[in-house]
Amino acid sequence: MLWQDPLAREVTRREFFGKSATGLGIAALAWLLGRDQAQGAGRVGGLDGLPHFAPRAKHVIYLFQNGAPTHVDLFDYKPKLKELHGQPVPDSYVAGKRFSTMTGSPQGKLLLAPVEPFKQRGACGAWVSDFLPYTAEIVDELCFIKSMHTDAVNHAPAICFLLSGGQIPGRPTLGAWLSYGLGTENDNLPAFVVMTSVSKGTTCGQIFYDFYWGSGFLPSRHQGVKFRGSGSPVLYLDNPAGIDPGVRRGMLDDLAALNRLKWDEYGDPEIGTRIAQYEMAFRMQSSIPELTDLSGESPATLALYGPDVLQPGTFAHHCLLARRLVERGVRFVQLMHAGWDQHNSLTTELYTQCKDTDQPSAGLIKDLKMRGLLDETLVIWGGEFGRTPFLQGNLADRPRWGRDHHPYAFTIWMAGGGVRPGLTYGETDDLAINVVKDPVHVHDLQATILHLLGIDHERLTFRFQGRDFRLTDVHGRVVEGILS
């Protein structure tokens, strides 16, 4: 809504003064062209006074792993789990805890050793299992947080919680907050882009709800623009048959001329914004195809991302697009990859899942690093919770081994813009069930991400239903220990 939108309000003011001074205001036109010097070079939109302090990162790529990757089998190495393999989980670890209804009571559940062996990797000696050979190669760039914990135990509420700070849909997500607060650096593209993919051959897919990238009560132009996996990546991007770009350009010129007459007569600033947005739409009609044209990428670069990189809709393809997006100044790129929900497929689908994501994730880090983009880009890899160190299924039936949802501890990694590389932060107990050192709650992670972008999470607020809402609700503290 106009009245709660600082950008629009600013236009109102500026256009008004511009208009009364010179007819059609010069300042207004400058805004229309998206080149507002007052905001600092290259930045379009955002709030005055933001960032609050010097940012460590300018862009974010969130590699969101829907379904909850198993921290027990990938990162959080516990020799004792191997020792107690097949033994009932000690009551003291799980007493009074709620699990998914599939588990019901955790009492007497059997502990399950990691499926693949672990090794210490790189100079930093971080533990990564053989499931992730490519990630293992880049651990010295990564900062592992092993002490993540969350409030939600089912997928949709937990993902919603992680991305928006609330379990119930309706709040703005991280990317929307950043678009709102910081604007973007390329007005040929949206500030917040989302791409979704799903593991090949997964049997347990989770739905991607649009509230995972919603703008909630923020103006809806801040919501994530979801690129599609097939056909045109942005809906309605292609001109209709019989209208080529030249005709469209001419049509837009006529449209602008007629709209300007209207603007002169009616003075409604929204008309100016309309002209600007039609122009942006037109620019996106060419910037999006340019973005998705990978013919200029070298074979060496493509190889980094693995064999699927040229196949639209895959995680690998999206990782490459993510790099191209931040390269072009897009603020927040959210990739979501579903299929990590191994209730009964630890020894089967987990392999495919890792294969689909391991090399592209590592490739993205390497590629960003080589291009000098890693310093200014924050990359986050992780899911919505962890998986139970005890077994779901029958111990004798190895092909159907699984692990259930586990909100009490999970591992994520971060890299780039402002986080300490080669660090392992936080610790779980000797069975990877509970956090015992340096716990990081979801709100803490959110506060830290905003901090790295130069934002005090307590001061980025939006008034709705009479309350000043923020991403971190009324909680959250910056995890100082992981800052570089």
Partner 1 sequence: MRETVWVCMGIAASLVACGVAQGEEPRVDYLRQIRPILADNCFRCHGPDEAARQSGLRLDVRELATAPADSGQPAIVPGSPEQSELLRRVTSEDPSERMPPPETKLSLSGAQIDLLRRWIAQGAHYQEHWSRTPLRRPALPSRSPWADEDHPIDRFIDARLQEQQLRPLGKADRYHLIRRLYLDLTGLPPDPEEVDRFIADRSPDAYERLVDRLLASPAFGERMAWDWLDAARYADSNGYQGDAERTMWPWRDWVISAWNRNMPFDRFTVWQLAGDLLPDATDETRLATGFCRNHMINGEGGRIPEENRVDYVMDMIETVATVWLAATMNCARCHDHKYDPFTRRDYYSLFAFFNQTPVDGAGGNPQTPPVLEVPTEEQRVAVTELEGQLAKLRAELLAQEKTLLEGSSPDSLPEEVRTILQHSPDKRDADQWQRLDKHLEGADSYRQLAARWREWKKRYDQLRREIPRVMVMADRDEYRPTYMLEKGLYNRPAEEVFADVPQCLPPLGEGGKRNRLALAEWLVRPDNPLTARVVANRLWQQFFGTGLVRTPEDFGTQGEPPTHPELLDWLACELIDSGWDIKRFCRLLVTSRAYRRDSRATPELLEADPENRWLARGVRYRLPSWMIRDQALAASGLLVAQLGGPPVFPYQPQGVWEEATFGNKSYRQDRGAKLYRRSLYTFWRRIIAPTMFFDVASRQVCTVRVTRTNSPLHALVTMNDITYVEAARELASRQWRAFSQEGADRLLESLFRRVLVRPPQASELEILRAALARWEAYYTAHPEAAEALLSVGEAPRSAGPATQLAALTVVAHTLLNLDEALSKE
Segment 399 to 418, residues that bind partner 1, using CB under 8 A? 405
Binding mask 90-109 for partner 1 (x = CB under 8 A): ----------xxx-------
Interface stretch with partner 1, choices 32-40, 149-157, 320-328, 352-360 (CB under 8 A): 149-157
Judged by beta carbon, residue 197 or residue 301, the one nearer partner 1 is: 197
Strand partners, 129: 118
Residue 459 sits in the site that holds partner 1 (CB under 8 A): yes
Residue 451 sits in the site that holds partner 1 (CB under 8 A): no
Distance CA 440, CA 472 (A): 13
In 3-state terms the chain splits into helix, strand, coil percentages (rounded to 5) of 40, 15, 45
CA 269 distance to own-chain centroid: 34
Contact assessment for residue 57 and residue 453, using Cβ atoms and an 8 Å cutoff: yes
Place of tokens 């929307």: 176
Q: Are strands 427-428 and 225-226 parallel, antiparallel or unpaired?
A: unpaired
Binding mask 176-215 for partner 1 (x = CB under 8 A): --------------------x-x------xxxxxxx----
Among 220, 286, 394, 484, indicate the residue that binds partner 1 (CB under 8 A): 220
Site for partner 1 in 261-300 (CB under 8 A): 261-263, 265-268, 270-271, 273-275, 277-278, 280-281, 284-285
Interface stretch with partner 1, choices 77-85, 137-145, 150-158, 380-388 (CB under 8 A): 150-158
Residue 242 sits in the site that holds partner 1 (CB under 8 A): yes
Distance CA 475, CA 466 (A): 19
- Shortest Cβ 236–partner 1 spacing (Å): 4
Residue 473 sits in the site that holds partner 1 (CB under 8 A): no
Contact assessment for residue 269 and residue 19, using Cβ atoms and an 8 Å cutoff: no
Residue 250 sits in the site that holds partner 1 (CB under 8 A): yes
Contact assessment for residue 411 and residue 131, using Cβ atoms and an 8 Å cutoff: no
What's the longest Cα–Cα distance across the chain? 83
Judged by beta carbon, residue 243 or residue 303, the one nearer partner 1 is: 243
Among 254, 290, 293, 397, indicate the residue that binds partner 1 (CB under 8 A): 254
- Shortest Cβ 130–partner 1 spacing (Å): 29
Residue 239 sits in the site that holds partner 1 (CB under 8 A): yes
Q: Categorise residue 104: left if φ over 0, alpha if ψ from -120 to 50, beta otherwise.
A: left
CB atoms closer than 10 angstroms to residue 111: 26
Site for partner 1 in 2-31 (CB under 8 A): 2-3, 5, 8-9, 12-13, 16, 19-20
- Shortest Cβ 162–partner 1 spacing (Å): 17
Residue 255 sits in the site that holds partner 1 (CB under 8 A): yes
Residue 33 sits in the site that holds partner 1 (CB under 8 A): no
Contact assessment for residue 25 and residue 260, using Cβ atoms and an 8 Å cutoff: no
Distance CA 424, CA 136 (A): 14
Distance CA 261, CA 244 (A): 26
Distance CA 352, CA 200 (A): 7
- Shortest Cβ 447–partner 1 spacing (Å): 13
Contact assessment for residue 141 and residue 369, using Cβ atoms and an 8 Å cutoff: yes
Size of the site for partner 1 (CB under 8 A): 83
- Shortest Cβ 203–partner 1 spacing (Å): 11
Residue 48 sits in the site that holds partner 1 (CB under 8 A): no
Q: Is 419 helix (H, G, I), strand (E, B) or coil?
A: strand
- Shortest Cβ 141–partner 1 spacing (Å): 32
Judged by beta carbon, residue 83 or residue 238, the one nearer partner 1 is: 238
CA distances from 353 to 56, 119, 342 (A): 32, 20, 10
